[in-house]
Structure 1
Amino acid sequence: MAAAPEMRASDGDRDRVAAALREHVAEGRLTIDEFNERLEQVYQSRTYGELARLTYDLPEIDLHRLPAATESVQRPHPARPDDKARSLKGAWSAWATASGVSWMIWLVTTVASGHFIPPWPMWVMGPWGVILLINTIASAGGRSRGGA
């Protein structure tokens, strides 16, 4: 039995329309602003007719076979060569920042206590720095072997 436009919609019906709208955004048929407007209206809708008006200008979508999700799985985004270098630069920046903060805390507590406190920041920066150094060397070796 086909649902009449004046029949009340369930939460599941609204969720299916919301999922279809998300898919249309992924396919580029709707802008984010249009999606947000329609999504707000989806959850305010009470009948099948109100839900149908939100998707009248869009093609039907089979939610069991989501085109955008299928394509993104089949064609993974290729990594750019400079991504690894940028990642290493970020890792070294985080290491330097954490090390600097640790050394400042050590210095303030040593001065405030009035006696020498063993330099514990070495335990923070040492192992982390060794691992970063190994990754940096391995990355540089891979780049020269991969050759341009």
Structure 2
Amino acid sequence: MRASDADRDRVAAILREHTAQGRITMDEFNERLEQLYKSRTYGELARLTADLPDVDLRQAPAKVSQSPERRGGMHPGMKAAWGAWATASGINWVIWLIVSITAEHVVYPWPLWVMGPWGVILLISTVFGGPPPKKYR
């Protein structure tokens, strides 16, 4: 009997689960996946998992990832942006301090022009930004 795309997708999910549990290696997974998408019948699909225990994907533990807002934290991308801002600001202030010390007088605080606009944009994005985009598989 001919297998459908949904049947192949179901077997691919089973193979992924077995790979995640360490029953088959990534090389075996890739080989079986290649054979999977060449398969046309239920018999060919069954041969791909014949040496593996049955997996009921409905009973598999759900991997629920809470959104960053519900975890009480900030979106990882926003954390990275703030980290980049802090690093660049710190480097600019160190350069300004070295120049001020070697010039023997206080130089105009030009790092404010670097960190000010960037910081304002980050602050607005942090306060008024929406939730992170959803990832689709």
TM norm structure 2:
0.52
Identify the match of residue 65 of structure 1 among 59, 63, 77.
59
AA matched with 1:123: G
Instruction: State the match for 1:43 in structure 2.
Output: 37
Identify the match of residue 26 of structure 1 among 14, 20, 31.
20
CA distance 1:44–1:99, shift in 2 (3 Å) = farther
SS in 2 for 1:14: helix
Identify the match of residue 116 of structure 2 among 102, 123, 143.
123
CA distance 1:91–1:57, shift in 2 (3 Å) = same
Deviation (angstroms), 1:124: 3.7
The CA deviation string for residues 45-72 of structure 1, in whole angstroms up to 9 with x for no partner, is 00111111110100011111115xx4x6
- In 1, distance between residues paired with 2:116 and 2:40? 61
AA matched with 2:15: L
TM norm structure 1:
0.48
AA matched with 1:23: E
- In 1, distance between residues paired with 2:40 and 2:6? 12
Gaps of 5+ in 2: 65-78, 93-109, 124-137
Deviation (angstroms), 1:125: 5.7
- In 2, distance between residues paired with 1:28 and 1:97? 43
Deviation (angstroms), 1:91: 5.6
Query: Paired residues, what number?
Result: 90
CA distance 1:26–1:100, shift in 2 (3 Å) = same
Whether the 8 Å contact between 2:19 and 2:26 is mirrored in structure 1 is yes
Question: Which has the larger share of helix?
Answer: 1
The CA deviation string for residues 66-110 of structure 1, in whole angstroms up to 9 with x for no partner, is 15xx4x66xxxxxxxxxxxxxx9x964x22247769xxxxxxxxx
- Percent identity for Structure 1 against Structure 2: 60
Instruction: State the match for 2:133 in structure 1.
Output: none
- In 1, distance between residues paired with 2:21 and 2:52? 11
Gaps of 5+ in 1: 1-6, 74-87, 102-117, 131-148
Q: What is the RMSD of the two structures over their aligned residues, measured on CA atoms? A: 3.5
- In 1, distance between residues paired with 2:119 and 2:15? 50
